[in-house]
């Protein structure tokens, strides 16, 4: 039975909507933090949407969604376990890893961060979690396309987009008080 895309979308939202909060809670238990849980739920719902046409309406939708989530989490976990451990360059520079203590051999990331004009911007960037800072670094400093970042990080494109969005939002919040004219109330002397 083929239905129109509009009715299929409405049916998917009607069926899955009430389960989203429960999916979020379980994803939080799997991942251990809210941001990765959000990514896991997003990826789960994307896979469910792609396969929704093959879902039998008489079967257990909740079990089907949770099976998709578990399989997605296991795949991501295995992918993460296969990758070598990553250390932020702020912790260990390339020169330190090579055994050379001189600052002449700093990594490109450290060079770029040191070249930022404002110490507060550097500080706000350093305060970002590693996954978010890498994503926004690749996008804004390295000028990589989202698809290239997804391939480099081994994550879905939607995850890259949400990480960059969250990182930019956190940077904006951290730096929002830089321009006092934006936040100042209109002065009665200048309004006249």
What's 75's domain CATH number? 1.10.1740.10
**What integer pLDDT is reported at residue 18 of this predicted model?**
86
User: What's the burial of 44, exposed, middle or buried (CB within 10 Å: 0-12/13-18/19+)?
Assistant: buried
Residue 98 lies in a domain: no
Q: Does residue 18 belong to any structural domain of this protein? A: yes
Q: How far apart are CA 4 and CA 103, in angstroms?
A: 62
Domain of residue 161 covers 108-178
Report the mean per-residue pLDDT for the chain. 78
In degrees and rounded to multiples of 5, residue 48 shows phi and psi of -65, -40
The model's pTM is 0.42
**CATH code, domain with 123:** 1.10.10.10
Structure tokens, 20? 């989203």
pLDDT digits (tens, 9 = 90+) for 54-96: 887 778 888 888 999 999 988 887 887 787 776 665 665 566 6
65 and 131 in a single domain? The answer is no
Residue 181 pLDDT level (bands cut at 50, 70, 90): very low
Per-residue tokens: 155: 């994550």
> What pLDDT, on a 0 to 100 scale, did the predictor assign at position 89?
59
Average pLDDT over residues 151-159: 90
Classify burial at 74, counting beta carbons within 10 Å of its beta carbon; exposed 0-12, middle 13-18, buried 19 or more. exposed
Q: pLDDT tens across 95-147, in order?
A: 666 665 455 566 666 666 666 666 777 788 788 888 888 888 888 878 888 99
Q: What is the pLDDT of residue 178?
A: 58
Q: 3-state DSSP helix/strand/coil percent for the chain, to nearest 5?
A: 75, 0, 25
Predicted pLDDT of residue 191: 44
Domain count, the chain: 2
């Amino acid at each position: 039975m083929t239905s129109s895309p509009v009715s299929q979308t409405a049916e998917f939202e009607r069926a899955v909507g009430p389960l989203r909060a429960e999916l979020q809670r379980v994803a939080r238990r799997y991942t251990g933090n809210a941001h990765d849980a959000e990514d896991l739920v997003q990826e789960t719902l994307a896979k469910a949407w792609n396969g929704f046409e093959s879902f039998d309406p008489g079967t257990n939708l909740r079990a089907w969604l949770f099976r998709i989530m578990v399989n997605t989490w296991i795949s991501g976990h295995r992918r993460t376990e296969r990758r070598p451990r990553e250390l932020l360059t702020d912790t260990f520079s390339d020169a330190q890893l090579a055994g050379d203590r001189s600052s002449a051999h700093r990594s490109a990331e450290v060079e770029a961060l040191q070249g930022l004009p404002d110490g507060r911007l550097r500080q706000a960037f350093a305060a970002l979690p590693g996954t978010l800072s890498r994503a926004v670094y690749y996008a804004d400093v390295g000028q990589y396309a989202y698809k290239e970042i997804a391939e480099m990080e081994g994550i879905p494109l939607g995850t890259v987009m949400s990480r960059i969005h969250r990182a930019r939002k956190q940077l904006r919040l951290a730096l929002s008080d830089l321009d006092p004219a934006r936040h100042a109330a209109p002065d009665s002397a200048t309004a006249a």
